[in-house]
Amino acid sequence: MDSPLSRSSTSSEASSVKSVPGSSASSNSSVEDAGISRRNAANTLSACQCAALKELKSLCRAKNVYWNSGDREGYRIPPSNDDVTLLRYLRARGFAPQAAFKQYSATVAWRRKLALDEMYRTAEISHFEAIRRLMPQWTGRRSRNGVPIFVYSVSRTRPEDLLVTSKQDPTLSNVFLPAEYSTQFVQPLCARMHVDRAMPCAIFIIDLTGVGVRHFWNLRAHLQKASTMATSHYPESVDKIFILGAPSFFPAVWGYINKWFEPNLTSKISVLASSEAKTVLTKHIDIDDLPVSYGGTVPWEYGMSPHLDAEARDMVGSFADNWIEGPIHYVPREDGDEIVAAGAEAAGLRGTVLAKLPACLEEPGAFSSKGGVCV
């Protein structure tokens, strides 16, 4: 199928965060001079990029702009800015510190206004799940380069459900609870198993099979507002987007849709004909990590709990077979990160530790099949 948009390469893209030419010792020194956690930066920044990050951190300190503060599941979080989050905004703005700071500070203000962290931490479980079922869902698997794979079956999203959500929540703040699930749990968990990856992000398979003109038209206002806000407040969280099952009218509406996104995001989108879908997808995703519906072997369907691979199951232990609904936090700890239940149920706020992960090495060592470095 000829796509009306710029097709992204079917080969693995190199990250836009490049290594500086020269020895690894020089790169390591730049990382250390910028005060960057090697676990986050993974020694992939050039000297100029390290300098940009250092300047952005200084701007945040001078203007008292901090992403994290307060308590999370019993752990005190001092005012701080995570390197990985800062790097998202730098990448989105071409490593221009002032431009990145403008976008970053606007997002921090937006999150504070909505009390998004608190909303995620205290979300009522059934309400959270009602919203999550309308959004892209994690399959439990990762791509060849270690990023989580999400699927969004648009035909399973009823416009009337989104209309009710929009009327109850005109700011669409609740719509971003599933996005927080991805950034506060899924992406850091997958990055934990792929420590060399500089930027946690995700692959999205958007399935348009069975979507008619009326269905799309009824969803357009909601999708436009949500997409615009996501571009502003969740930059560089997408690795690739694959659109499958595109209806015949899709080329006609693409010119309308692509105005919702910045060019660097539209360049990551590929529209795949049914005849090429499996071939292209399996260049980025092992067939054993691809759902059966799309030519793989994973017995996962939209609406199911994540179906973890063997490596992830080993890491999270019994939690893999006792998956829970509702929000979940990934909590970094020096003695081993934790997966912690969040959200509210009848008995009150949850805070149970669902899994304790093994301690993670800072320096490259014994790599797992997808790059993890663990004790």
Bridge-based pairing of strands 148-153 and 137-142 is antiparallel
- Is pTM beyond 0.85? Reply is no
Q: Which residues contact 358 (CB under 8 A, 6 or more apart)?
A: 315, 336, 374, 375
Where helices occur in 294-357 by DSSP H, the ranges are 310-316
Identify the bridge partners of residue 206 per DSSP, sorted by sequence position. 152, 243
**Mind listing the pLDDT tens digit of every residue in the chain (375 residues)?**
444 343 333 333 333 333 333 333 344 444 444 444 444 443 478 899 999 999 999 999 999 999 876 555 455 566 788 888 999 999 999 999 999 999 999 999 999 998 899 999 999 999 899 888 888 999 999 999 899 999 999 888 776 666 666 666 656 567 789 999 999 999 989 988 876 554 578 999 999 998 888 877 777 777 777 777 778 899 988 999 999 999 888 888 887 777 777 788 888 999 999 899 999 999 999 999 999 999 999 999 999 999 999 999 999 999 999 999 999 999 988 889 999 999 999 999 999 999 999 876 544 333 233 433 333
DSSP 3-state of 67: coil
Exposure string for 179-210, b = 16+ CB within 10 A, e = fewer: bbbbbbbbbbbbbbbbbbbbbbbbbbbbbbee
Q: What is the DSSP string of 108-135?
A: HHHHHHHTHHHHHHH-BHHHHHHHHTTS
DSSP 3-state of 193: coil
Bridge-based pairing of strands 269-272 and 238-244 is parallel
